[in-house]
Chains A and B, each alone.
Chain A
Amino acid sequence: MEYYRSYYTEALELSKTLPDEQSELYKRHFIPLPLEQFAERIENAGGGEEDILLSTLAKSAFENLNIKFDVLFGSTRHITNSADCIKIVDASDITEEHVSKKLFKSGDDKMVAFIHAHARRIVFIDVPDGMAVDINLLFANSDIPLSTQVLVQVGREARLNLFEWYASKSNSISLMSILHEIKVGEYGKADVNMVHNEDQNTFVVNFSKGQVLENGLLNINYIYNGGIGSRAKNQVSTTGYQARSNVIELVLGSGKQKFDLSTIISNVGNNTLSGLESKAALTDESVCILKGFADVGENAKGSRSFVNERGILLDKRCYMSSIPGMSIKNSDVKATHSSATMPVDEEALFYLMSRGATKAVAQKLLIAGFLSSSIAKMENPAVKVAVSSLMQEKINNKRFGTVPALDISNLWGDANAQTDDMFQGHYKYRELK
């Protein structure tokens, strides 16, 4: 308790003093967050109504998409159905040992400091060596902002399938803020899926850091479908020999939704592989900024790194900026990055229409196709179904923030799609096949 007080006070002070994001893009497009109001609401929250919200969301997710959650997290309380490998520590019980395991420091960012100061809990997911476990979590905020830290540790030769569904029901502007810290041990594998489907009053803050040790594999799929605004800062480091990481970011924007996603993939160790595939399909007045960066370290001999950003714009009013970047400090590596944003391909549109599809249906097919080639690469079938259903609901009805009906009509898994070759199709590396 004593430690928590000093830790909390330090983070709280930092959250007040650290500057907001200073970039021009941020100032021009993003929503200033009333953090003091949020903090006040969190501190004064009772939370009795949250049980109803959590139960309702869990019930509809089960009925529509057949997803059973192990733990339901509200802003102030949680409901545990199954707790294999999960330990939930109330913020007031955190110790110096807990904090020493963290990859994030409060000084990293204003929102990190805010989450450190206001998170009601730390969720520890610890998969012991050699064990395999599937975990499904629901996070839901109401008018009371939700701040939580999730610390994941996957042991040697262990395997984790983690599916996190983010939802909300709020009447005024609220916040979903999550910090993830994921460590994958030697020969371990983690498949982490974060599906954001918050309502139109919720601002999403999703920060994560991942670290992969020797011969480990970390697949992270970030799906941004809901929320009025989303800000993400993610970093995945392949530190051990032959460690691999594959990151997929999918954005489907409509209305006035805004997304600011910044992801760094770092090759630290020898013969490592890091890949980032970011895709955004935007309509109406939505805005998306994708910043993907590959950082190849000086000890990353024989490593491969890949950043691929793609955008499709369906309306003249939407805006996208994709900014791929690289820093390479070793000469014996293969690294590539690419970026392309375009309106719907007129030739493809005509082709589909010539077979009888209306313009609207043809556009929907093209967006679904654009996204589903990435969805096909996701390994967890339940995630594929949930994401496909969400996307279909958004494409067909521009609705988000509710649990959609199951719809996999356009979910297409290309039999020839390769999930582990990040250089697929890139002319420079075709000879690698």
Chain B
Amino acid sequence: MKLEIKDLHVVIEGKEIVKGVNLTINEGEFHVIMGPNGSGKTTLAKVVMGYPSLKVTKGDILVDGTSIKAMSADKRAKLGLFLQFQNPVEVEGVGFVNFIRAAKESLTGTTTDIKQFMGEIRSYTEKLAITNGIIGRSLNLGFSGGEKKKAEVLQMAVLKPRLAMLDEPDSGLDIDAVKVVATNVQEIARKDKMALLVITHYSRILSYMNPQFVHIMADGRIVADGGHELVMKLEKEGYDSFVNSKK
């Protein structure tokens, strides 16, 4: 899968949040977007996934050369896009495992073998150190912040998208959990040849991951591109040096 974001401008409730972003992610690549609060990172991920109240006023989003601007979220998911939400919604009465199974069947168009499916779920719950309790609960209902993040990674592992966007996968996690999530995300992506786009404020999670491309976003624009050295620079100088710079 190749994702191309071209001169993208996005407005919500009359306010422009994304102001001309260009970004290309090729098959299997690992990108990171870092930036201060309110820089438009989450909006960018949501608009790629097709969040309905975000309006694209200019530019385009292409998957393998085809515009997906007019596509609904489910069609984008079927193309292989996945968004790990910063704050996943709680849905009472929809079973966590039932939902993942329904989603998988919807994406693949095939029925799942329940025994094999549960085996897969259990293997990831062990790897991600998820308590089995959440398997028996409603979707995200009553999950702690850490459980929600891990449950999202579990969905990513089972649904096997071609490009996974992870919006702040480290927020709300303790130090040990950050390591567990980071190493598992990278391992799953590598195994399934998945492209990754990780959005984060902090470099903490990146000490356990090896992104190929790092982008700094400020005020709705990507203001710097580079590799891991950008993370080092951020550690030393903070976001201030990037906020007013022009790419």
Q: Which residues of A contact B (CB under 8 A)?
A: 345-348, 350-359, 361-362, 365-366, 368-373, 376, 409-410, 412, 414-416
Contacts A352-B99, A416-B137 known; list 14 others, CB within 8 Å: A345-B89, A348-B89, A353-B72, A353-B73, A355-B82, A356-B78, A371-B93, A376-B93, A414-B95, A414-B137, A414-B138, A414-B141, A415-B137, A416-B133
Q: Which of B74, B98, B139 has the most CB of A within 10 A?
A: B74
Is residue B128 within 8 Å, beta carbon to beta carbon, of the partner chain?
no
A350 to B51, Cβ gap below 8 A?
yes
Is residue B232 within 8 Å, beta carbon to beta carbon, of the partner chain?
no
Is residue B65 within 8 Å, beta carbon to beta carbon, of the partner chain?
no
B138 to A350, Cβ gap below 8 A?
no
Minimal beta-carbon separation of B178 from chain A (angstroms): 24
| Cα(A365)–Cα(B73), bound, Å | 16
Is residue B136 within 8 Å, beta carbon to beta carbon, of the partner chain?
yes
Closest to B104 in A: A356
Residues of B with C-beta under 8 A to A358: 72, 74, 106
Given contacts A346-B52, A350-B51, contact A366 B137 (CB under 8 A): no
A353 to B141, Cβ gap below 8 A?
no
Is residue B107 within 8 Å, beta carbon to beta carbon, of the partner chain?
yes
Given contacts A355-B159, A376-B93, contact A369 B77 (CB under 8 A): no
Is residue B43 within 8 Å, beta carbon to beta carbon, of the partner chain?
no
Minimal beta-carbon separation of B152 from chain A (angstroms): 10
Residues of A with C-beta under 8 A to B99: 352, 355, 365
Q: How many residues of B contact A (CB 8 A)?
A: 38
Is residue B102 within 8 Å, beta carbon to beta carbon, of the partner chain?
yes
| Cα(A137)–Cα(B137), bound, Å | 34
Residues of A with C-beta under 8 A to B142: 416
- What are 24 pairs between A and B in contact, CB < 8 Å? A345-B89, A347-B89, A351-B89, A352-B91, A353-B74, A354-B50, A355-B103, A355-B106, A355-B155, A356-B103, A356-B104, A358-B106, A359-B74, A365-B102, A366-B91, A369-B91, A369-B93, A373-B138, A410-B98, A412-B93, A412-B138, A414-B93, A414-B95, A416-B137
A353 to B137, Cβ gap below 8 A?
no
| Cα(A357)–Cα(B50), bound, Å | 13
Q: Which residues of B contact A (CB under 8 A)?
A: 49-53, 72-74, 76-78, 82-83, 85, 88-89, 91-95, 98-100, 102-104, 106-107, 133, 136-139, 141-142, 155, 159
| Cα(A370)–Cα(B91), bound, Å | 8
A350 to B73, Cβ gap below 8 A?
yes
| Cα(A414)–Cα(B134), bound, Å | 10
| Cα(A347)–Cα(B85), bound, Å | 11
B93 to A348, Cβ gap below 8 A?
no
Residues of B with C-beta under 8 A to A409: 98
Residues of A with C-beta under 8 A to B95: 412, 414
A369 to B106, Cβ gap below 8 A?
no
A365 to B137, Cβ gap below 8 A?
no
Cβ 8 A contact of B94, one of A347, A354, A368, A416: A368
B106 to A368, Cβ gap below 8 A?
no
B93 to A359, Cβ gap below 8 A?
no
Residues of B with C-beta under 8 A to A348: 89, 91
Residues of A with C-beta under 8 A to B136: 414-416
B77 to A372, Cβ gap below 8 A?
no
Residues of B with C-beta under 8 A to A373: 92-93, 138
Given contacts A346-B52, A351-B85, A412-B138, contact A370 B73 (CB under 8 A): no
Minimal beta-carbon separation of B166 from chain A (angstroms): 13
Cβ 8 A contact of A354, one of B77, B92, B100, B139: B77
Residues of A with C-beta under 8 A to B93: 368-373, 376, 412, 414
